Amino acid sequence: MVIKSLIQKKDALTTVKETVTLEEALKTLEDSGFRCVPIVDESGQIFRGNIYKMHIYRHKSQGGDMTLPVTYLLKNATKTIPIDAPFFKVFFNIKDLPYIAVLDENANFYGILTHARLLAMLSESWNIDVGSYVLTVMSTGARGDLAAMSKILAKYVSISGCLTLDAKQDEIVRRTLFTLPAGIDENTLNECVARLERKGFRVAEIDDLQSGQPLRIDEEI
């Protein structure tokens, strides 16, 4: 399970029971500093949805009844994923949410996966701490292109990371980002670039991970 190690389990979370009032929920939010917390049933096993501080503030500013149950302003009741969800489903379901609720095999509330933890995991795929350069290589996306590019690079370096963008049927150009390991000298870098371009793969951008500066930028990408 790709996401299990990223989940914050419910026992470590700040939550509110579905029977508390809006006033009580607001105090919990203010005391915790969170802008949103999960709402659970009395047993703590069932995820009901989320309560946002901004929605309570808006309700209160408009003279709303603060003794109403917190479920009155419940949001995101269906925004959940199973604990064994594939990564792509997690990625596209979390979108603009601060977190998404995770349910166990029995559909009980297991915990949450935050947007921040997901982005941190993605950033690790760049291997910034152990990488040297990122090459943005353009291709047609034809069958065998990725294998061909990887084979060229593998003659000179190991590949620390790989990410493909624009992977849609109607895209005629595809960008593949290769992260090269630390210790690559300029001669080796130039040889990699030359070999790729000799085989018809345009290296549109080269980023130096250590300096944070681009070595090459093609304005057409």
**pLDDT tens for each residue of 131-172:** 789 999 999 888 999 999 999 999 999 998 888 887 555 557
**Rounded CA gap, 207 and 195, in Å?**
18
Its CATH architecture, for the domain 4-121, is Roll (3.10)
Say which range, 61-75, 107-121, 146-160, has the weakest mean pLDDT. 107-121
Query: What is the average pLDDT value for the chain, to the nearest integer?
Result: 89
For residue 219, which phi and psi values (nearest 5 degrees)? Answer: -65, -15
Helices (H), the chain: 22-32, 53-61, 87-94, 115-124, 145-154, 186-198
CATH of 125-217 among 3.40.190.10, 2.30.130.10, 3.40.720.10, 3.30.70.260: 3.30.70.260
CATH 3.10.580.10 residue window(s) in the chain: 4-121
